[in-house]
Amino acid sequence: MPETAVQLDVETRQRLLNVAAELFAEHGFNHVTIREICQAAGANLAAVNYHFRDKLGLYKEVVQMAADAMNKFKAEILDTVEPQPPEERLRGYIRLTLHRLLDPHQESWMEKLIARETTDPTPAIDLIIEKGIKPTVERNGRMVGELLGTTLDDPRVWQCFLSVQGQCLFYKMSMPVTLRMAPPGFQYTSEVVDALAEHVYQFSLAGIRALAAQPAPPQMGWRS
């Protein structure tokens, strides 16, 4: 059993995964050819088929990476924010999320790929949901629930959370349009993102508080 040979292939395997992640995120599954990936990774054309059976096998593994990264990243944000009081927790969550999403300095292949799968899912979307989204649903809900003064089964919890998350993700997803609508030379600098985050925070906190003052209508929750 020569397991050093595995060492070697791990190298090109990883190289393929890294290159493929960026290319898939940037151009989408169908816009990227195996030949491009292999050339960029300095590997032979047949490498993808050898290591991942086929193009879709490679893609699925890339999505898996993205889901794991997303989970880790969301958990990090929540860890950072959790010791603070509820209001500051929300503010921090929004700020960190937006920076992660919008800062041009951030590696963002993961977000791009997930945005792609969100609006235009492939069979790999289940991976993202199971490993990237569901694990943090509860913690996210608690963050909002505390501000609302209710528990997770209150429908307002996920409605409000979606309103917050929606604003953040919308800025990411509509970036190509926003950049064309904004004045020439506009960029999401750190200061701009900070200001944006502050706006979303103020806006959302007021929204949450307003809804906290109302009775909850009976409605459905989330699958867990």
Partner DNA sequence: ATCGACTTCAAACACCTGTATAAATCATAC
Partner DNA sequence: GTATGATTTATACAGGTGTTTGAAGTCGAT
Q: Write out the residues near DNA by the rule CB under 7 A.
A: 1-2, 4-9, 11-12, 32-35, 43-51, 53-56
Among residues 12 and 178, whose Cβ is nearest to DNA?
12
Which of DNA, its own copies, none does 153 bind, CB closer than 5 to 8 A by kind? Answer: none
215 binds its own copies (CB under 8 A): no
- Of the candidate residues 133, 135, 150, 152, the single one contacting its own copies (CB under 8 A): 133
Among residues 57 and 121, whose Cβ is nearest to DNA?
57
Which of its own copies, DNA, none does 55 bind, CB closer than 5 to 8 A by kind? Answer: DNA
223 binds its own copies (CB under 8 A): yes
Q: How far is CA 168 from the centre of its chain?
A: 11
- Backbone dihedral angles phi then psi of residue 77, each to the nearest 5 degrees: -60, -50
| Span interacting with its own copies, options 12-20, 42-50, 70-78, 160-168, rule CB under 8 A | 160-168
What SS3 class is residue 146? helix
Do 102 and 171 form a contact (C-beta atoms < 8 A)? yes
Distance CA 204, CA 124 (A): 32
Which of its own copies, DNA, none does 85 bind, CB closer than 5 to 8 A by kind? Answer: none
Amino acid at 212: A
Collect all residues with Cβ–Cβ distance below 8 Å to 130 and sequence separation of at least 6.
Answer: 67
Which of DNA, its own copies, none does 165 bind, CB closer than 5 to 8 A by kind? Answer: its own copies
3-state helix, strand, coil in the chain (%, to 5): 75, 0, 25
CB of 39 to DNA, least distance (A): 10
Site for its own copies in 1-60 (CB under 8 A): 28, 30-31
Q: What is the DSSP string of 6-52?
A: HHHHHHHHHHHHHHHHHHHHHH-GGG--HHHHHHHHT--TTHHHHHH
Burial of 19 from C-beta contacts in 10 A (0-12 / 13-18 / 19+): buried
State the DSSP code for 154: S
165 binds its own copies (CB under 8 A): yes
Chain residues that interact with its own copies, rule: CB under 8 A: 28, 30-31, 115-116, 118-121, 125-126, 128-129, 133-134, 137, 156, 159-160, 162-163, 165-167, 169-171, 173-174, 176-177, 180-184, 186, 195-196, 199-200, 202-211, 214, 217, 219-223
